[in-house]
Chains A and B, each alone.
Chain A
């Protein structure tokens, strides 16, 4: 009990003197604020990007591609394939008993980004009759749904806001003429919001193509995956890969996510090292200016543990303050900002977890930077320190 009282008393004495060492203390605060702000803001790109990718996937949805096709555009699913896949066991069924599957046709159309006038390819996805039952997250927000057998399509909200010529009523040019945008939809910020949707058969004939690109199905229960996959792989007529939608999407995003994470930890790590040196410096000088005070306290009977803790507490408090400022600045400046990689639109997301991670990192650095000076303080030789004055 006595030890706790001592620690509290010495810590308060130390903290009260911080205004007198404002310059040096600012070094820690500004340093930690910088490290945390930078790391969080780069990671917020990765988090936002991965959030968009992940929210596009569902555990009970499965995508079927032709064998070894690494992405949808490289795949080809014939009509016979599509029928065989729809016959496989384990599929979810609509009220009328039809399997919830969608054989999809894909093409890319050119769109111009509003902010910089550059051209990007955007996916136009033709979905089957059950395509919307398969993706219940899609909600029409304006206009109306496209009608099959007509030149109509709907556009994702993100795509519409970032790219030109995608307002309701606008025309999109395809090989068989102009298609009209009849509505726009949102899907909880998922990747589909960066796409255009239309009817698959109509799109196939518009592209003068015969085969679909991929087939997405909904399982009755997520556990049915193995059964479904086994049925496809034992069917000699099918040469396909069967993947969880979540796995497929994560694989597509792996590279970009890896790049962002590497940059965040590389830059954050180097800056953290710099901040660590700054903290060490500040606390060493704090201990050095307080050596007489510390020696006096020791004479009064305060223990080494109390002194050590008080220095660590100062380090922690300054780091925490800096980290909180940095985390808040990153949140205020970047959270919710729209960003795009190619035509995929996502929002920078500064999550509480991310802020916690940043603050934790700074506290760790602060403690590390406080440890050596704290040890020195605890070992201040009383006589020498007092004689020096």
Chain B
């Protein structure tokens, strides 16, 4: 610690050079921070999708019958089956499409991440036209409990009217994506009775199974039940659906990993070069240090410590700036992947990287200083 002033003085010998080098490294860590955020968002999307939650969907688009639910429930290994029926619509702006999902209470057993209370559930059950909406929609449209919401849809009611009106009975959030829940959940019974056509149809069964390892097997068993019916099904786990859905983003993500690699490889050049230049100018100073009793290893460590100080300072600055930049960048890509704030693990990895860059880039200069002979160094004057 007592050498800190010495290191500090050495580091800022040429302020322009050190500042510019520092900024290069800071920029690399900003990039590292932001890309870590994308990485985390991607991982979260995969984690939030579960292997023990299966989706049974129509294989060719023809909707399934509600009676499938009982048949699926009898398949060994199935714990809960929740039918749902969706309806596309919009509120005021036709370009801002919204999915209305008709459900019953079983839905919440399948999606425990939806934070619904017993009281909200009871009100929804009592209110035929009730709707439970996510906080995202609440904020977007300024809705509150008690509001009557007219939605334009493509699904005509029995009287031919395509405008459905719902009463908001509760606002919920999504534990996996706090603040981003866009759910619009209504009573299946109301949707089914109110629609002019498609009585008793279901567009997806959510199936909770007891043993996640048997997902593929149970999926095949379910599909076999309806293989020769008018509406064959396709069942697979939510996880495999997400993997397929996120495959392209995943490819981009692999790509960004390569970028981080390239950037830090470039950093080795930048810091290595700076250290080398700085050491070259200070050859006589190091000779004086050695004369005054510093051992060869001590000067070696001095150089390495100087490089470490530079890289760690830059890492701290860069990671802090990344934290600031992430909320600003988020809206630009939120349609594709959630950009998460960096956590402790990322910070630690960042410091690890700083350590590696500092060590590798200072190794050669430090070695040169260690080998320095006092006589030749001082006689150069």
Contacts and interface: CB of A to CB of B under 8 A. Distances in A.
Interface of A: 23-24, 26-27, 30-31, 34, 37-38, 41-42, 45, 68-70, 74, 107-110, 113, 116, 118-120, 174-175, 207-208, 255-256, 258-260, 262-263, 266-267, 270-271, 273-274, 277-278, 280-282, 284-285, 339-342
Given A23-B276, A110-B59, A266 B263 contact: no
B264 to A, nearest CB: 10
A175 B62 CA distance: 9
Interface stretch (B113-121, B194-202, B246-254): B246-254
Interface string B49-80: 00000000001111000000000000000000
A274 B28 contact: yes
A219 B194 CA distance: 42
A282 B269 CA distance: 11
B16 interface: yes
B31 A27 contact: no
Given A107-B60, A119-B236, A263-B252, A281 B266 contact: no
A175 B227 CA distance: 9
Contacts of B16: 281, 284
Main secondary structure of the interface of B (DSSP, over half): helix
Contacts of A281: 16-17, 20-21, 24, 270, 274
B162 to A, nearest CB: 11
17 contacts: A23-B277, A34-B263, A69-B154, A107-B60, A119-B240, A120-B244, A263-B252, A267-B35, A267-B256, A270-B27, A273-B27, A277-B21, A277-B23, A281-B274, A285-B17, A340-B248, A342-B247
A120 B265 CA distance: 37
A175 B23 CA distance: 62
Interface string B4-46: 0000000000001100110110011011001100000000000
Interface in B334-353: 335-336
Contacts of A45: 252
Interface string B258-277: 01001101100110111011
Residue among A45, A208, A271 facing the most chain B CB atoms (10 A cut-off) = A271
B214 to A, nearest CB: 18
A30 B24 CA distance: 13
A208 B336 contact: no
Contacts of A208: 62, 230
Residue among B31, B97, B251, B256 facing the most chain A CB atoms (10 A cut-off) = B31
B182 to A, nearest CB: 16
B236 A259 contact: no
Contacts of A38: 259, 262
B221 interface: no
Nearest to B252: A263
A175 B269 CA distance: 61
A341 B30 contact: no
A266 B34 contact: yes
Given A34-B263, A119-B244, A274-B28, A207 B256 contact: no
A340 B273 CA distance: 41
Interface of B: 16-17, 20-21, 23-24, 27-28, 30-31, 34-35, 59-62, 88, 90, 94-95, 97, 154, 230, 232, 234, 236, 240, 243-244, 247-248, 251-252, 255-256, 259, 262-263, 265-266, 269-270, 272-274, 276-277, 329, 332-333, 335-336
Contact of A284 (B17, B61, B244): B17
A113 to B, nearest CB: 8
A270 B30 contact: yes
A195 to B, nearest CB: 16
Nearest to A342: B248
Given A255-B335, A281-B274, A270 B31 contact: yes
Contacts of A340: 247-248
A26 B269 contact: yes
